[in-house]
A and B are shown apart, each in its own frame.
Chain A
């Protein structure tokens, strides 16, 4: 009942959504909100509960606890209707290599019960959308990565779903194709489709309207990329080039004001603590230890920086919680 009030503006709502496999809690009381018409980036390391959540949202895995609505459809009561309403594309693309582009589209059109009268027109529209014109008769197995990816997307869109789930859609695709693909899904969102996408690429995450970080089955942060940065990262990231990156890294790791040192190729990234040192202070610190530095600057934190800091913070809290549970001796 309550869902119908939010249903107008929210494509996905979950309350306390939980999945346990025996003793393992894969998804732990997840409250997820995806607004209609937005591009939602669902992020988290492997094993964080991303795919379990996705499978529950697709209606193929029954939640142990909690409730959820997808496009206003109750996940527990009507999983079959969820399946017909959404589109789903997996990182494996799910194409039949021995069928042509057109035959793949026809197959998915039939599977998703696209009325016969509309089928041809839909397929043509999908061919245009995926920039697949002229390749209708080509076997899917002979297409290159970017084409395969767009064909897989159009197969997921053939029945005109209002919501699509993309599970790591750009894994293993070349950078140019990745960019083309993101332009395409941005266009879909602008036309009113809601997209929930999981990705490992942080540059892609920045392209989303909203991000949700999931870690150990829980949603640990949620909001627009800019907002997450502003709220949780009101400090710079210092980047530098050192002549001896290893020695510099070791020296910086011992510094109390530095939370984390990340090696990024020849450069070092320092996640400093709030109120921590700026670029000049870092240079002085290293100079005092006779370590020469070629270049030091302050840069915008990346989504990856945010994510790593979340994960660490979460782990610290958990460890503290566990210690307290042991009793008064711990404190």
Chain B
């Protein structure tokens, strides 16, 4: 038993290693995508019209505004004299970003406990604008961190952030931001690997006639499947790790929640998507067919899961479809863990559908898989 399973796993890894181009692509595509998105964020979305409501009138506040402007992400176009005026400007579209500096800002800064409020208009239905707003929030965060470290008169103690920026996204709490690319990317990657790579791994055996030999051999079906699933999961986890590392260390995406929980819940997600992959392998005769079928499963996932467009804005029919797409729930899980740092106590409503989906689809696909071997 052990030897047979070991044989399949060892063989799968050898084949992966032989196909080094595919392996390299699989591991570095996530990195490349992150750089593309990261780069896009740094160039495309600058000069957001900004309104400042400076209640302190202090030199320190002036320095903060200058720093914001120097970052080139913000154009301070207006000065508001009240919160109401600031609100009106954002409502009216004169500004996309509002900065509220508290009256005792200088004092707070001296106590190394400064808080400013950044209001971002995320109402724009168009994805591009929405992304831009999000990017602006990121940029603000970063430039303020920079300010905190280099600004004169502010002594920074290690580990104690002197400065807290409160970003509040109005109207659209689920806003798409630079950070939100990471969860989406992880979800899309895992899906691609567990669906199309898995399907191809089986269909290739059938195309080349090796499946015939395996069927005649004493190998059990579960050994064959597990022997294919384990390497596939390891590759998927490898991709995920690469994406997280680059996101965290290159693009400063925070990872607030528990990584073990993230990895564990990813397995629940992949349980279902592996089911899709096995199902695709049973339906497809050739590798191109398998790839096309996989692609058919990606399309609704990418467009309807909330990866690109918020689900709340979709027509009802699309929302129902979104409700049966596993990626919908997985995205919430990743966002919840990575960005919000929440645990299972809040995430279980997302985990439950994933478990259900996995149980149904995986079982169904195993039955199909068994049948096609007979």
Residue numbers of A with Cβ under 8 A of B are 58, 60-61, 80, 83-84, 88, 90, 92-99, 103, 106-113, 116, 155
Indicate with 1 or 0, residue by residue over B213-230, a CB within 8 angstroms of chain A CB atoms. Answer: 111111100000000000
B: number of interface residues (CB 8 Å): 23
Q: Which residues of A contact B216 (CB under 8 A)?
A: 58, 60, 83, 88, 90
Q: List 27 A-B contacts (CB under 8 A).
A: A58-B216, A80-B218, A83-B218, A84-B218, A88-B216, A90-B212, A90-B213, A92-B212, A95-B210, A96-B11, A96-B208, A96-B210, A98-B14, A98-B15, A98-B18, A99-B15, A99-B18, A103-B11, A103-B14, A106-B7, A107-B10, A110-B6, A111-B7, A111-B214, A111-B218, A113-B3, A113-B4
- A242 smallest CB distance to B (angstroms): 44
B19 interface hit (Cβ, 8 Å)? yes
- B97 smallest CB distance to A (angstroms): 54
B209 interface hit (Cβ, 8 Å)? yes
- Contact assessment for A110 and B210 in the assembled complex, using a CB-CB cutoff below 8 Å: no
- B278 smallest CB distance to A (angstroms): 20
Q: Knowing A110-B4, A111-B219, A113-B4 touch, does A99 contact B11 (C-beta < 8 A)?
A: yes
Residue of B nearest to A55 (CB): B216
B152 interface hit (Cβ, 8 Å)? no
Besides A83-B217, A88-B213, 13 other A-B contacts (C-beta < 8 A):
A61-B374, A83-B216, A92-B212, A94-B210, A96-B15, A98-B15, A99-B14, A103-B14, A109-B7, A111-B8, A111-B214, A111-B218, A155-B213
Please report the C-alpha to C-alpha distance between residue A116 and residue B10 in the assembled complex, in whole angstroms: 14
Closest 5 CB pairs of A and B: A110-B7, A92-B209, A94-B213, A84-B218, A83-B218
Most buried by B among A98, A99, A109: A98
Q: Which residues of B contact A88 (CB under 8 A)?
A: 213, 216-217
Q: Which residues of A contact B212 (CB under 8 A)?
A: 90, 92, 94
Please report the C-alpha to C-alpha distance between residue A109 and residue B206 in the assembled complex, in whole angstroms: 20
Residue of B nearest to A58 (CB): B216
- B232 smallest CB distance to A (angstroms): 17
Q: Which residues, 350 to 374 on B, are CB-close (under 8 Å) to A?
A: 374
Q: Which residues of A contact B217 (CB under 8 A)?
A: 83, 88, 108, 111-112
Q: Which residues of B contact A98 (CB under 8 A)?
A: 14-15, 18-19
- Contact assessment for B10 and A112 in the assembled complex, using a CB-CB cutoff below 8 Å: no
Q: Which residues of B contact A80 (CB under 8 A)?
A: 218
- A44 smallest CB distance to B (angstroms): 20
Please report the C-alpha to C-alpha distance between residue A108 and residue B7 in the assembled complex, in whole angstroms: 8
Q: Which residues of B contact A93 (CB under 8 A)?
A: 209
Please report the C-alpha to C-alpha distance between residue A155 and residue B19 in the assembled complex, in whole angstroms: 23
- A153 smallest CB distance to B (angstroms): 12
- Contact assessment for B209 and A97 in the assembled complex, using a CB-CB cutoff below 8 Å: no
Q: Which residues of B contact A84 (CB under 8 A)?
A: 218
Q: Which residues of A contact B219 (CB under 8 A)?
A: 111
Please report the C-alpha to C-alpha distance between residue A112 and residue B3 in the assembled complex, in whole angstroms: 9
Please report the C-alpha to C-alpha distance between residue A53 and residue B277 in the assembled complex, in whole angstroms: 33
Q: Which residues, 204 to 253 on B, are CB-close (under 8 Å) to A?
A: 208-210, 212-219
Please report the C-alpha to C-alpha distance between residue A31 and residue B74 in the assembled complex, in whole angstroms: 88
- Contact assessment for B218 and A113 in the assembled complex, using a CB-CB cutoff below 8 Å: yes
Residue of A nearest to B8 (CB): A111
- Contact assessment for A110 and B209 in the assembled complex, using a CB-CB cutoff below 8 Å: no
Please report the C-alpha to C-alpha distance between residue A92 and residue B217 in the assembled complex, in whole angstroms: 15
Q: Which residues of B contact A83 (CB under 8 A)?
A: 216-218
Q: Which residues of A contact B214 (CB under 8 A)?
A: 111
- B352 smallest CB distance to A (angstroms): 38
Please report the C-alpha to C-alpha distance between residue A106 and residue B6 in the assembled complex, in whole angstroms: 11
Most buried by B among A80, A93, A99, A107: A107
Q: Which residues of B contact A116 (CB under 8 A)?
A: 3
Q: Which residues of A contact B8 (CB under 8 A)?
A: 111
- B374 smallest CB distance to A (angstroms): 7
Q: Knowing A95-B210, A98-B18, A99-B18 touch, does A60 contact B215 (C-beta < 8 A)?
A: yes
Q: Which residues, 136 to 169 on B, are CB-close (under 8 Å) to A?
A: none
- B181 smallest CB distance to A (angstroms): 35
